[in-house]
Amino acid sequence: MIASKPSVRSVLRPSTLTEARELAESLAASGLYGRMTNDQALAILLTGQEIGLAPAAAMRGVQIVNGKAFPTADTLVAVVRASGLCASWQVIETTPERCVIRTQRVGASHTDECVWTMAEAKRANLGGKPGPWQQYPAQMLRARASSELARRVYQDVTLGLYSVEEEVEHELPSAAPAPFDTGLALLEAARQSIDEIGEELNFAQAIAVYADHITATITTSDRRALQSLVAEACTKPLARDAFIEATATESDRLLTRLTACQTRADLLHVAGLIRAAAPAPVDRAALIRAYTTAAARIDAAPRLVVSAEDWSTRLRLAQSPEALRAEWVACSEGFERQGAAVLADRYADLTAALQTQGLDGDEVDAFIEAHS
């Protein structure tokens, strides 16, 4: 039997603004949830807390879009279903042309339903836009229907929040600008802009040049070439690093995180982020190649030898029994080399962490026996 975990979540919540700021700073510095500022991490934590999310859940389920924090559609649904006010939530139909979702609130004698069709999306000037509506129509229809139904029926839970997917739609262009004839033409135009400035670029100038020459139809390789060209014109390291961070895409950040992976648990976490990001096919291919390279590197490396403090941190950051298992597989050989006493202590830490994840005594013993 899996035990409920409200007491564990309450322990992990910051109780003062100072504690929230300290936690936000630690999470932003960890890099586990992508690149973000301390203030962005704090906004995510506070937004998540408003709708009942624990810090780690907020970092996974709330994103910064256009300078504001928004939960994903899936997160809104999860919050509703965990609220105790939702008697049922059913996806009746989900296709690239139509999505129907039905819910019933506890105590209500009727059900509420939301229907979104691609025809409605096109009338709202959404379905014809380049981007996710063309690449993932079924997922976008489901996100729209889920968010609208959650707000309509469970206002006291969602607090009127819009989802990430809805907010991103506001920024999508209704028609793509005409593309450059070739990537070379784009780069040549950017070089001319840099030459006209006539000096090393500061951060603001670099952003301006980049923004003037980026297009909605630019290929990934041309975008990276443009980014590299402008970055090279920033001779001061601080300006160059700030520019690269400001113009990095989610796929760029995922590639960086794959390069930094040290364990199979790290890889599993980044794989989940890749699935959630739903990158374009060309970016997905690059991410798969990077994932394969990282996996081969990790498998070929000697087993890690970590300190007691590092082990405690790894256990604290693991979000599931499977992630804990991956950490044990990665580190147990190193513990064994440190001696029987160290191995026994770390094994006890693992047992306690599994119990914290909600496994009872018998389940912990069976899990460890099956995976040790």
Residue 229 resides in a domain: yes
Q: Are 122 and 268 in contact (CB under 8 A)?
A: no
103 in any annotated domain:
yes
Mean pLDDT, rounded, of the chain: 77
Same structural domain, 165 and 82: yes
Give residue 105's pLDDT.
93
Looking at the structure, tell me whether residues 153 and 104 fall in a common domain: yes
Q: Per-residue pLDDT tens for 293-309?
A: 777 776 665 555 677 88
CA–CA distance, 270 with 259 (Å, rounded to integer): 11
* Average pLDDT, integer, range 158-180: 55
Q: What are 53-88's pLDDT values in tens digits?
A: 888 888 888 888 777 788 888 888 989 998 889 999
Res 274: pLDDT: 79
- 241 and 290 share one domain: no
Domain check: are 333 and 281 in the same one?
Answer: no
Mean pLDDT in residue range 309-332:
79
pLDDT(194) > 70: yes
Residues 231 and 281 in one domain: no
Cross-strand pairs, 71: 62
pLDDT given for residue 127 in this prediction: 63
**Using CB atoms within 10 A of its CB, is residue 104 exposed (0-12), middle (13-18) or buried (19+)?**
middle
Q: Provide mean pLDDT across the span 274-294.
A: 75
Only one residue has tokens 């039905």, namely: 102
| Residues of the chain above pLDDT 90, percent | 9
Domain boundary among 141, 169, 197: 169
pLDDT, greater one: 200 or 346: 346
pLDDT of residue 10: 39
In a domain, 175, yes or no: no
Q: Are residues 157 and 99 in the same domain?
A: yes
Q: Given phi > 0 = left and psi -120 to 50 = alpha, else beta, which region is 107?
A: left
Residue 181 has what pLDDT?
Answer: 36
- Specify whether 140 is located in the same domain as 160: yes
User: CA torsion sign, 222 to 224 to 230 to 233?
Assistant: negative
Does any domain span residue 177?
no
* Cβ proximity of 42 and 66 under 8 Å: no
pLDDT of residue 174 exceeding 60, the answer is no
Please give the pLDDT value at position 12.
Answer: 60
Whether 96 and 144 share a structural domain: yes
Q: Are 323 and 316 in contact (CB under 8 A)?
A: no
pLDDT for the residue 305:
62
- Whether the CB-CB separation of 27 and 33 falls below 8 Å is answered with yes
Q: Which domain holds residue 295?
A: 251-300
pLDDT tens digits, residue range 221-265? Answer: 677 778 888 888 887 888 888 888 888 777 778 888 888 877 766
The tokens of 202 are what? 């500061």
CA distance 38 to 26: 8
Residue 183 binned pLDDT confidence (cut-offs 50, 70, 90):
low
> What proportion of the chain, given as a percentage, has pLDDT over 70?
81
Sign of the dihedral defined by the CA atoms of residues 287, 253, 239, 213, in that order: positive
Q: What is the mean pLDDT of residues 90-116?
A: 92
281 pLDDT above the threshold of 80: no
3-state per-residue secondary structure call for the chain = CCCCCHHHHHHHCCCCHHHHHHHHHHHHHHCCCCCCCHHHHHHHHHHHHHCCCCHHHHHHHEEEECCEEEECHHHHHHHHHHCCCEEEEEEEEECCCEEEEEEEECCCCCCEEEEEEHHHHHHCCCCCCCCHHHHCHHHHHHHHHHHHHHHHHCHHHHCCCCCHHHHHHCCCCCCCCCCCCCHHHHHHHHHHHHHHHCCCCCHHHHHHHHHHHCCCCCCHHHHHHHHHHHHHHCCCHHHHHHHHHHHCCHHHHHHHHHHHCCCHHHHHHHHHHHHHHCCCHHHHHHHHHHHHHHHHHHHHCCCCCCCHHHHHHHHHHCCCHHHHHHHHHHHHHHHHHHCHHHHHHHHHHHHHHHHHCCCCHHHHHHHHHHHC
283 lies in the same domain as 344: no
Do 48 and 94 fall into the same domain? no
Q: Say how far apart CA 223 and CA 289 lie, in whole Å.
A: 19
Of 70, 88, 118, the residue that ends a domain is 70
| Chain center to CA of 210 | 25
Kindly report, residue by residue over 325-355, the tens digit of the pLDDT.
Answer: 777 777 777 777 778 888 888 888 888 888 8
Within 8 A by CB and 6+ apart from 164, the residues are 63, 65, 70, 71, 72, 73
Residue 117 has pLDDT above 60, yes or no: yes
Residue-level pLDDT at 178:
35
Give the pLDDT score at 149: 93
Position 107 in a domain? yes
Task: Please tell me the predicted confidence (pLDDT) of residue 111.
Answer: 92
Task: Name the β-bridge partners of 105.
Answer: 86
171 pLDDT more than 50? no
Q: Are residues 92 and 57 in the same domain?
A: no
| 1-28 per-position pLDDT tens digit | 333 333 333 346 777 888 888 888 888 8
Long-range contacts of 45-50 (CB under 8 A, 24+ apart): 45/14, 45/20, 46/20, 47/71, 47/161, 49/13, 49/20, 50/159
Is the domain of 221 the same as that of 293? no
Let me know if residue 178 belongs to a domain.
no
Question: Structural domain tally of the chain?
Answer: 5
Does any domain span residue 176? no
The answer to whether residue 362 is domain-embedded is: yes
The residue out of 169, 201, 216 marking a domain boundary is 169
